[in-house]
Structure formats: structure tokens, C-alpha cells
Amino acid sequence: MQDVLGGLAENPALPERLFERLVEAGEEDVRLLLARRDDLTETQARTLRAHDDVDVWTLVAHRKITWAEVPRDDPHLLVAAAQAGIAPEAAVRELAAHPDREVRAGLAFYVTGLPPDLLAALARDADPHVAASAAQSPELSSGLAEELARHPHVVVRAEFARNEHAPPALLASLLADGGHPAPTRCAACHSRDERCADHWPGVRRIRLAAATNPAVPPAGLEEFLDADEAWVVDAFAERTDLPPHVHPRLAAHPVASLRATVARNATIGESLLLQLADDPDPDVSLAVAENPAVPLARLAALAGRARLPREPLPRILAATDAELHELAGSRVAQVRALVAARPDLPAGLLNLLVADPDIGVARRIAPHPALGEHRLADLVERHGPPVYGAAARNPGCPPALLRRMARDAESVRKALRTIAAHPATPPDVVEGLLADPDPRVAHAAAAHPSLPVETMERLVEQAAEGRPRT
């Protein structure tokens, strides 16, 4: 029953008079969904707050309660109120001086638009955890940015090195050698008088953080190509401003997921793309298919031997009409299916692909909004249940066809989830899907705005009485 009540909680047509009854009848998950409603009123928010299991943070974050109603005994809620913009400046300043460092750090990290003097105070906080949070702010002044780049603590510099809004020159300095002067404190020695003899591990941490920052100038990244931390290399392998001589080393990297990242990079050149297309790892060849610069001939070859994404590929979206016609005439159905996924097909190609006998092509063309009711119905008639789900994704799918597919889709469970959510599904069909054994189907039906109000009332009443849905 809770799946249906959760759908009702998301239903934009839920009558206000049922709100309180649904709050009482539902469980914690239902109340959470109610708290997230865009149209939640202050009165409804107070109704939710009467329950101990309601996530007050959600109400605060979505500005559904006033500052006067925010509980004062939870400083983290106060930070959320500051983040949401409902806390007055005086309260924000009090939080900046809070004895709990997590509160000060949360204020520095989550709240935008802090007064400059307050952000500066947090960046200069004696606790490096707080200063490190401030170092990630997108609103640092140039002077404050320079201070943080020279901060004595490794943790603070490392977090500043990840800040994509930091001046590139400062990031380049941190990438090169951790910055000047060298850091003098790290997590191991910041709380004791005696300092570590060597902060080399911390300096490396700063440099690795800078290497993952897309705002750092590319000069110097080559030094990290052989780093043991493959995730660092992966972070810059997708950059389009790397020197060309770096690409072959990236394409030969022993980690397959990193080679896949490189394979999506449109700047690596055709020869490397062809090399990666023959990579033994299937994820790498799939990534080649997603590259906007992949040659059409190689894309067609990949389509013939691998299952490619349902969404239109970048190279297909950029193809000319002549290229599309050539692909649509391929003997390989998977290649024709690639063309069918394009949302702005020329009328002649649309007609050609609608008549295609292959079920894979039919699935790709069925959601096309330009099909029209008659051609979509004909497509469903010819191919039957295997295309129901795709047809139900078509925004122009008519009510009569949705009704028919809902009646016959028992063998295609996923199609019912789409049918239950389609705006044109008739109210009586939606109501019938409430009893579906698939909780996702029932949830989608309960969330449908055409669900009759009397049905909503009956479901809430049944839940309140502890009876199963009927």
C-alpha cells in the first residue's frame, strides 16, 4: 500500500483536504515525499512537523518553514537555514563563531553569498578543517585566494587546489611543487608542537588535487601520466587542451576505464580512435561510439558487433542528410537503428524507418514525436508487445492506443510503468493499474494527475483503516 500512497504524495492533483489524512495514513517515506512537494504550503509544513519522523532538514532546505520555526537546538539545521537564505545575517554571524567546528565548516562550505569579512574569517579559522571548507568557496577574493594558496596546512592547500574558481596561476604553482613557501603542517602534526620532519606526502596530495582540477593550466599534467593513482589521470584524460603527444600514452594506459575516458575525447585524432575501437575491453569500444569525432564507417562497424546506447549518439546528431541516408540504407539493422534514434529526422527518412521490418529499428523510431497517431498505431500493430514500451514513450501516443497496450502488456512489465505515467493514459486505465503487482507501476498510477479524486479518497481511507488496496 505504501507504494500507492507514495504516488499520491507526488500527485500534483492531490486535493488539499486529503493532505492531512495522507500524512496520518502514510509512513515515513510518504511524509518525506510530501515534504518535497513544490506546492507545499506553510500550513502543510506545520502538519508534517507534528510527526517526529519528518525530515525537518528537507522543509528547511526547500524554504517551507520560516526562520522563527527552525529548531534552535540543532545547529546543523541552522546552517541549512542559512544555506536556504531564511536565516538573518545576525544568526549567520553567530554560526561563524559556533564552538562546533563542523558547524563553522558547514557554513563555509554550503552557504553562498556570505559577507566578505565573514568568509575571510572562516578562511583564517584556527581549525584547518574550517579553513579547508572555506578554501572551496567560489567567492574568494584574489587576496584571500593567495592567502589560502600559501596556507601552512596541507589540508587547506589541497582543498584550495580543487577549487575550480581559483586563479589558474595559483593552481599552476600548487601543481608544480605544492606552492611556496612549503607547507609546515599536516593532519599528523597540526595538533602538536613538534612538526613532521617531512611533508612530502602532503605536498603530493596538494599536487594530485591540482591535477584533477579542470581549471589548472595543462602544462605539467604530463608528469602525472604514470601516477599510481589512476583516478587522477582519469580526471584530466577528458580534457581537450592537452598536448597531442600525451594522447598515445593515455590510450595505452593499463586501466580500461581510463582508456574509455580517452576514447570519448574528441581531440585525440582518428588513428587513436581506430586503435581504441579495437580495444579488447567492450567498455572502451563503446566509449569510441560515443565520441563526436568517430568516423561513421567505424561507428557502423561498432554497431554491428556491440549493443550501443538507446539515446542518439553525438556523431549521429551531427551527421549530414547525405550521411543519414547512407546509414539508413545499411544492410545492418543496428546501423539503421542508430539513425532512427535521431530526434530531427528528415520526413523521408522518418517514413523509411517507420516501415523498417526490424524490431530494433522499430523500438528506436517509436518514441519519435513526428510519427503521428496513425503511423504509431500501425507500428504497434505490426510489431506487437516488444515495442509497447517505446511507443508509450512517444509524447503523442493517443489514449486509445495506450488503453490497448495496457490491456495486452502483461508480458512486457516495463511497458506498464511507462503507460502508467503517460499524460494521455485514460483515467480508468490509470485506476486499473493501481492494483498492478509491480510497485513501480502502482506508484506511477497513483501519481498520475488524472486519477479520479474519489479514488484518491478511497485509497487514503483504506490505508487509514489498514485495509489492502482494491
DSSP secondary structure letter of residue 187: T
Whole-number Å distance between alpha carbons of 218 and 140: 23
Sequence-distant (≥ 6) Cβ neighbours of residue 150 within 8 angstroms: 179, 180, 181
Domain boundaries, the chain: 66-134, 138-217
- Give pLDDT tens digits for 154-185: 999 999 999 999 999 999 999 999 999 988 88
To 10 degrees, the CA torsion angle through 220, 225, 230, 234? 70
Question: Is residue 25 scored above 60 in pLDDT?
Answer: yes
Q: What are the b/e assignments for 7-24, b being 16+ CB within 10 Å?
A: bbbbbeebeeebbebbbe
203-207 contacts at long range (C-beta below 8 A, 24 or more positions apart): 203/154, 203/177, 203/178, 204/178, 205/154, 205/158, 206/154, 206/157, 206/158, 206/161, 206/174, 206/178, 206/179, 207/161, 207/174, 207/175, 207/176, 207/177, 207/178
Cell numbers given for 411: 508480458
First to last CA, the chain: 10
| pLDDT level of residue 411 (50, 70, 90 thresholds) | low
For 318-375, what is each residue's pLDDT tens digit? 999 999 999 999 999 999 999 999 999 999 999 999 999 999 999 999 999 999 999 9
Kindly indicate the confidence band of residue 468, based on its pLDDT and cuts at 50, 70 and 90. low
Cα–Cα distance for residue pair 30/19, rounded to 1 Å? 11
In this predicted structure, which of 59-68, 126-135, 289-298, 383-392 has the lowest mean pLDDT? 59-68
In angstroms, rounded to a whole number, what is the distance separating the alpha carbons of residues 112 and 368? 42
* 233 pLDDT above the threshold of 90: yes
Q: What pLDDT sits at residue 200? A: 80
Give the per-residue pLDDT at 307.
84
Residue 197 clears pLDDT 80, i.e. is over it: no
- Please check whether residue 224 is in contact with residue 239, taking contact to mean a CB–CB distance below 8 angstroms: no
Q: How confident is the model at residue 192 (pLDDT cuts 50, 70, 90)?
A: low
> pLDDT above 90 covers what percent of the chain?
81
> Is-contact 259 281, C-beta < 8 A?
yes
Q: Where are the beta strands (DSSP E) in 221-293?
A: none
pLDDT beyond 80 at 443: yes
Nearest to 423 by CA among 443, 396, 446: 396
Q: What predicted TM-score, i.e. pTM, was given to this entire model?
A: 0.86
> Do the beta carbons of residue 242 and residue 221 sit within 8 Å?
yes
The three cell numbers locating residue 460: 487514503
Query: One-letter amino acid identity for 415?
Result: A
What is each CA distance from 454 to 7, 433, 450, 458, in whole angstroms?
Answer: 15, 16, 11, 6
Phi, psi of 226 (to 5 degrees): -100, 15
Convert the pLDDT of each residue in 455-467 to its tens digit: 999 999 888 877 5
